[in-house]
């Protein structure tokens, strides 16, 4: 694992991406405070079509495994149009 400040990462991005492509992790710091992590992409968990959708920005991979038991334990019933629209917009995140 390597750590790098934002300025150096910007200046040497290709070198750090090669490091990540080789299976290593990079911790990004802002004034020596960790703010992000760059991890290798696990291609084995998705199809080629999904990888292309992610690369184009049309799809976002899930951040965690779906808890289907919790999902099906949710109460059912009618949802207002406004609540459905709000939920759809919030689920998109900040893309």
pLDDT at 77: 80
Render pLDDT for 7-38 as a digit per residue (tens, 0 to 9): 999 999 999 999 999 999 999 999 989 999 99
Q: Is 40 helix (H, G, I), strand (E, B) or coil?
A: coil
* Residue range(s) defining the domain that contains residue 35: 2-42+63-91
- Which CATH number covers residue 10? 3.40.1620.10
pLDDT at 79: 84
Domain membership of residue 50 (yes or no) is no
For the chain, how many structural domains are there in total? 1
Phi and psi of 75, rounded to 5°?
-65, 150
pLDDT at 26: 96
pLDDT tops 70 at residue 95: no
The structure's pTM equals 0.52
Phi and psi of 2, rounded to 5°?
-120, 155
């Amino acid at each position: 694992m390597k750590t790098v400040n934002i300025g150096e990462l910007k200046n040497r991005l290709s070198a750090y991406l090669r490091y990540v492509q080789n299976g290593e992790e990079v911790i990004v710091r802002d004034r020596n405070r960790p703010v992000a992590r760059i991890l290798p992409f696990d291609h084995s968990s998705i199809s080629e079509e999904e990888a292309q959708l992610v690369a184009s920005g049309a799809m976002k991979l899930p951040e965690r495994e779906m808890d289907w038991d919790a999902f099906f334990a949710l109460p059912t019933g009618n949802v207002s149009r406004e609540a459905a629209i709000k939920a759809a917009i919030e689920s998109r995140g900040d893309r």
